[in-house]
Structure 1
Amino acid sequence: MVAERYKTAFTLYPYEKVSAQDAAPVRHPVVIVGGGPVGLALALDLGQKGTPALVLDDHEGAGLGSKAICFAKRTLDIAHRLGAGVPMVDKGVVWNVGRVFHGERQLFEFDLLPEDGHRNPAFINLQQPYFEQYLVQAIRAAQAEGAPIEIRGRNSAVGIDVHEDYATLDVETPDGPYQIEADYLIACDGARSPIRTMMGLDFDGRVFEDNFLIADVRMKADFPTERWFWFEPPFKDSGQSALLHKQPDDVWRIDFQLGWDIDRDAEMQEDRIRRRVDAMLSSQTGTVPEYELVWTSIYTFQCRRMKEFRHGPVFFAGDSAHQVSPFGARGANSGVQDADNLAWKLDAVLKGRAPKSLLDSYHTERAYGADENILNSSRATDFMTPKNTVSRLFRDAVLGLAKQHSFARPLVNSGRLSVPCVYDGFPHFGPDALDGPYATRPGAACPDAPLGSEYMLDRLGSDFSILALGGDAPHHDRINVVHIRDPEPTVRRRFLGDHTRAIYLIRPDQHIVARWPDFDASAVEAALLKTLGQ
């Protein structure tokens, strides 16, 4: 029988016995282990493209606890493309502004989305169970339209045999074991990935010894919906840093830096947690409102990744492939970008549109993204937790300058927040014959922009697109062609710069492949074949 690993916040796919449990192993094109944000997004993307996806999850829905709460604009753009973005933004707490303090002094504030013309905000705060619930709702809607997606709850992967071109899984259920086969197996089973462990694989990187306490607190409070971060906070027993921001349902996320040598059991005692929370609240409001401790946890920073994200027919995505500290909101956001990157490549290979070698580019691109996140996360952690006298002197000097001098503020690293990965110079991208705005260069994720009552990303969809700005491009049998003959000012600023015309080729994950000043059929075809690995 399957052990209950944790209770669910939402029962989304209760266990049902399937006929395959009493039959010889059935081969599936794609099997996904893990029903978190990454696995569900991957299954939804594949299914909407018509590629069958089977999700095996060892529980029956979203687990208890907020876990990931900060979802970035890039993730929301992906979720919107998949049909799940609107309820996420409607439920989430929208925020763009953050404030950084040193003791009682505010050093500065920042706005992560200072210009308009975007459908989605810079960030929303939304508890992970809601994020998963809305993905499952979108999966149900896609299934109703014929999308070949299946989720099996309380199906635990307990063994794996990797062959040259497929994998066999041993699966445990409440009705006993059975086996399935997968042309491609995607491990989205979290930081303690059973698949990774069963294959004898591990992480390379750093584990930081500092301990941090998360306390999710339900209360009525008048704090603004902003991200507040303190270095050396003024409230008692708060450690070297603290963080406060709001979630839906009147829940506030509070983080305290506890230090290196702690008694974890003692620190998790409710009375000790409440003393810390009481000190923070009384420092900010003069009183302590009535509140409920919704969820608490102690964690350490880890900045690590697997050496390779692909092992034959087995791929690793999200926390199973890479881990970063929670400060910066890079974990779930980078995992959803993993799914975004892998889905269209699996689809293209399984439909015969691309060679199998295209799948190697998943590791190449997403390991680069993981390294970028690990670098920034490590810098943030080192800045927050100086390890020697020189490091502390540098940090305190930067903090002292930051209040009055803007040049010092980029040096203040309190968990610089998640940004889209840009694949600069990667071999599967084409030329930049336009030399246009830097933000829309090849390798970058296509930004959104208003098009009357629509938005740019809606017009692009989930397949390859040619974007023709200020001119025309002919019909193409294999590519969606989007004509914008009279671009609005925002579109001109983001895509044209000083030019009056431009042609963009854009991948199904809405990363820009190449761009030109005018349409050239042979150049577009060459760039398309290149990005497909042909």
Structure 2
Amino acid sequence: MSRETARTDDAQEPAFRLYSYEKRSTPGAGPEHHPVVVVGAGPVGLATALDLARRGTPVLVLDAGTGPGQGSRAICFSQRTLQIAQRLGAGDAMLKKGVVWNTGRVFHGPDRIFKFNLQPEEGHRHPAFINLQQPYFEKFLVEAIRRAQKEGAPVEIRGGNRVTGISVQKDGVSLGVDTPDGAYDLRADWCLACDGARSALREMTGQSFEGRVFEDNFLIADVRMKADFPTERWFWFEPPFKDAGQSALLHKQPDDIWRIDFQLGRDIDRDAELDPARVRARVDAMLGEGAEYELVWTSVYRFQCRRMHTFRQGRVLFAGDAAHQVSPFGARGANSGVQDAENLAWKLDLVVRGQAPENLLDSYCAEREHGADENILNSTRSTDFLTPKTRMSRVFRDAVLELARAHSFARPLVNSGRLSVPCVYDGLALNGSDALNGPARTRPGAPCPDAPLREGFLLDRLSVGFTLLAINTPPPDPGDGAGVDVGTLVLNTQTDDPSGALRTRYLGEAEQAIYLIRPDQHVTARWPAVQTADIAAALRRATGREK
């Protein structure tokens, strides 16, 4: 997103000093060397670093600041992001602090068109979404990193360290770093660019974005107030409040903060729109005369649906907003970035350890570029529905809204921002055999859905490495794991599946199954029964050693 922000004087958003300025270089000692350097301590950089360190790969995080930036920024975190955070040791804190929501309402003018439920199915540890200000998200990841450090995880965060130069060689990356005490040099085997939408590393390596920039402008206003609105996502097409524009959105955050979005149109004076008096006039019209609130943070932005041509430049890999950008309606930005992190960390760990060839990282590009294209497609469609560009597209949009009032078949056509769902890597190179006539939701390439077990939840019991999940059948011999760690989990639906969710989600009509699950909890292959040689072949494929 392209945005301008304004900090108001009425209130302060959450602020944390999470890491201090540090400089570790020794004059005259030559460049420091690190296996992995992560540039950027936002959600994506922190999640990637934490995942790598928990697997035992040493990682250094560099950030120009000393804590989260201003403003709530990303606020909607999906079930899949919470599952990843749970695995990294930060999920409980996020769930405790966040505002849980599963339902939303869509309005046209003053009338409610319909209400939807994003999680009608029982038997999940995490809700469809929580709302949580990005500074809190980062705070809980840093706290998880501090705990991991005490347990021996090889990770370090250096604040006040701005990367000012980069040189990419065949066998590594050289970085120039500036600090308040002067400059120093680093040498890394691998560099991960997680430095956001205005990525300095993307610019330094001569890369650019490809895609669309939309001309409509949107205003974010975070306000602190006591309100009895339900904890839901409320979205208006052609809202009835004065000066609200073509659409409006209302969301609750922790600490009695509410996120309000107004669609302003194309030709605006951004400075005028960020004037607190002007913002208050819009908010007053929405909330009603006499409403009491404080402005916390405001921002004007435009939708951008763009990505880099490729997320890898030799030994530099790009992730999150540094690699791709989408509109905020749909919560696809930070959530897709965290999926980048979980996809990249296990692959880079195996490469650094020598347990997989370097070309495994090409599958990171293939899978997450696929994910970015999926997000950009959905985000572009949402934007086109929100802001019709032609007379006929507006006629279609308005007809869909009118039909949706009374007819359920039209409601899936209403697009107020298709909300983030985890990416399925259908048809991509790491997927193995699908010999099981099982549910489509657990096909190869799909993320594993969670399920409550007699003891805990399924995702908590998967291995850090690969997992061979045997359901209602003795586990096969995984052999030597084709050179990688493979754990075994044996479950029986009669004794371990009190809710029936495991059977429904993993067996369907089948009586038994063997699943091979990747370290990022995506399905690699599945069979009703399998031999050791077939497991080895699937593992070679999943680690980039067999096409």
2:15 aligns to what SS in structure 1?
Answer: strand
Distance 1:302 1:19, change over 3 A: same
Runs of 4+ in 1 over 2 A off after TM superposition: 19-23, 474-478
Aligned: 1:305 with 2:311: no
8 Å CA contact retained: 2:401, 2:414: yes
Residue 467 (structure 1) shift: 0.5
How many matched pairs? 525
Counterpart of 1:510 in structure 2 is 521
8 Å CA contact retained: 2:463, 2:486: no
1:454 aligns to what SS in structure 2?
Answer: coil
Distance 2:42 2:326 in 1: 17
Counterpart of 2:536 in structure 1 is 525
Counterpart of 2:77 in structure 1 is 71
Q: Which runs of 5+ in 1 are unaligned?
A: 1-5
After the TM superposition, which of the residue ranges 478-487 and 218-227 deviates more from structure 2? 478-487
Aligned: 1:483 with 2:490: yes
8 Å CA contact retained: 1:328, 1:418: yes
The structure 1 residue matched to 2:454, chosen from 443, 452, 466, is: 452
Cα-to-partner distance string for 1:81-127 (whole Å, 9 max, x where unaligned): 00000000000000000100000111111100101111100000000
Residue 485 (structure 1) shift: 2.1
Distance 1:120 1:462 in 2: 20
Distance 1:20 1:218 in 2: 47
Distance 1:71 1:345 in 2: 24
After the TM superposition, which of the residue ranges 255-264 and 449-458 deviates more from structure 2? 449-458
Residue 69 (structure 1) shift: 0.2
Residue 201 (structure 1) shift: 0.9
Across the aligned residues of Structure 1 and Structure 2, the Cα RMSD in angstroms comes to 1.2
Amino acid at match of 1:176: G
- The within-5 A match list for 1:39-438 is 39-282=45-288, 287-438=289-440
8 Å CA contact retained: 1:68, 1:128: yes
8 Å CA contact retained: 1:93, 1:124: yes
Distance 1:350 1:392, change over 3 A: same
8 Å CA contact retained: 2:437, 2:510: no
8 Å CA contact retained: 1:171, 1:177: yes
1:134 aligns to what SS in structure 2?
Answer: helix
1:189 aligns to what SS in structure 2?
Answer: coil
8 Å CA contact retained: 1:463, 1:507: yes
Amino acid at match of 1:473: P
Identity of aligned residues (%): 66
Residue 520 (structure 1) shift: 1.8
Residue 9 (structure 1) shift: 1.7
Cα-to-partner distance string for 1:226-280 (whole Å, 9 max, x where unaligned): 0000000000000000000100000000000000000001111111100000000
After the TM superposition, which of the residue ranges 517-526 and 304-313 deviates more from structure 2? 517-526
Distance 1:464 1:347 in 2: 13
Residue 62 (structure 1) shift: 1.2
Distance 2:322 2:150 in 1: 31
Distance 1:96 1:182 in 2: 43
Distance 1:499 1:288 in 2: 61
Amino acid at match of 2:118: L
Counterpart of 2:510 in structure 1 is 499
Distance 1:36 1:61 in 2: 9
1:426 aligns to what SS in structure 2?
Answer: coil
Residue 17 (structure 1) shift: 2.8
* TM-score, normalisation: structure 2: 0.95
Distance 2:455 2:122 in 1: 15
Residue 461 (structure 1) shift: 3.4
1:256 aligns to what SS in structure 2?
Answer: strand
Distance 1:352 1:406, change over 3 A: same
* TM-score, normalisation: structure 1: 0.97
8 Å CA contact retained: 2:18, 2:66: yes
Amino acid at match of 1:356: E
Amino acid at match of 1:498: E
Distance 1:241 1:377, change over 3 A: same
Q: Which runs of 5+ in 2 are unaligned?
A: 1-6, 8-12
Distance 2:27 2:328 in 1: 39
